[in-house]
Chains A and B, each alone.
Chain A
Amino acid sequence: MALDGNAIGGLLLEIFGSEMTSAEVTCAACGAVGPVAETTVYVRGPGTVVRCRRCTSVLMVIARVRGLNCVDLSGLTALEAKARPDD
């Protein structure tokens, strides 16, 4: 079952050290720009796969290997976290 980027807010916060669900992600394949919260997320495989909602290309893959998070961001061209005043 496909979820969305809200579901991995905790994982991304663990990896990046800041809130990422409203960060803007730019798809390397189609150029779509939108919040991480609106990406399509699959958490049931061996790793977490994040796909572009518009073109379904893989944006990010996160796999936990022996307690270490391995992060592949090659499917995106930008990931920009904007600070909100109350964060």
Chain B
Amino acid sequence: MAGTAVRGRLTWQVATVTAVTAETDSVRTIALDLPDWPGHRAGQHLDVRLTAEDGYNAERSYSIASADGEPVAITVERLDDGEVSPYLTRELRPGDQMEVRGPIGNWFTWGTHDGGPLLLIAGGSGVVPLRAILRHRERSGSSVPARLLYSSRTLADVIYRAELDQYGGSAEVRYTLTRSQPPGWGGFAGRVDDAMLARIAWPASQRPLAFICGPTPFVEAVAELLVARHYPVSRVKTERFGGA
């Protein structure tokens, strides 16, 4: 697998794990060293291929968690009945290697030229590509206003919480906790609904650009609410994931 990746061609290359960071009980961020990486844009993903000794292999797609120009990192949620995620979140150690190809996708991406204002809505680990967008916006010094509404089961399930809370006024981050809320919780509670969007969504007249990422039913419900709020379909970008 040695050699140089030709730009524009998708080839598998060997990635070396440089760090594994616990985000929550079941979520790990895996930093990768990819010598032939051509660079990526916020919102893109990559494919991971793991091969067993008997030659059986499994491929999965993961959103890239890091901003443009940063070393590649992915954030993986463990699904206990999964085939790949238990290995990535439990067994993987710095120095381990895996095959990776990418970056992939040019639809669910954001660059400073795409403008805004940005409305980012995440369900669970759907926050990963939206975190990359927020980081890129911050690192590039963009003045595009941004709001993130992040739906999570409990506060302990919130990924990147320390980082997201740091944005202070430069990007508005709001959480909604669907399963349980700690005493004195000042954020939203329950599933994303129209009343929540009435408080957080930019008016359609400001020509906002929305990115929604999460499990399929979450994405469909939120996209429908935004279209009902007169967001043009072409300004509502969606990315759905299932369990794998």
Q: Which residues of A contact B (CB under 8 A)?
A: 1-7, 9-10, 13-14, 17-19, 21-22, 35-38, 84, 86-87
Contacts and interface: CB of A to CB of B under 8 A. Distances in A.
A9 B105 contact: yes
Contact of A21 (B102, B108, B240): B108
B56 interface: no
B216 A6 contact: no
Contacts of A2: 216, 240, 242
A13 B241 contact: no
B242 A35 contact: no
Nearest to B236: A38
Given A18-B8, A21-B108, 8 more contacts: A4-B238, A5-B107, A13-B104, A19-B105, A21-B106, A37-B237, A38-B238, A84-B106
A7 B62 CA distance: 9
Query: Do most interface residues of chain A lie in helix, strand or loop, or is the interface mixed?
Result: mixed
B26 interface: no
Interface residues on B, range: 20 to 34
B199 interface: no
A87 B106 contact: yes
19 contacts: A1-B216, A2-B242, A3-B242, A4-B239, A4-B240, A6-B105, A6-B108, A7-B61, A7-B240, A9-B61, A10-B101, A10-B102, A17-B9, A18-B8, A19-B106, A21-B106, A35-B107, A36-B107, A37-B239
A80 B108 CA distance: 17
B150 to A, nearest CB: 19
Nearest to A81: B106
Contacts of B107: 5-6, 21-22, 35-37
Contacts of B238: 4, 37-38
Contact of A3 (B46, B102, B104, B216): B216
B115 to A, nearest CB: 15
Contacts of B46: 10
B242 A1 contact: yes
Nearest to B59: A10
A54 to B, nearest CB: 11
Given A14-B10, A21-B106, A6 B111 contact: no
Nearest to A38: B238
A52 to B, nearest CB: 14
B136 interface: no
A10 B242 contact: no
Most buried by A among B8, B45, B101, B107: B107
Contacts of A21: 104-108
Interface string B72-106: 00000000000000000000000000000110111
B243 interface: yes
Nearest to B10: A13
Contacts of B172: none
B9 A6 contact: no
Nearest to B44: A9
Interface in B217-237: 237
Contacts of A17: 8-9
Contacts of A84: 106
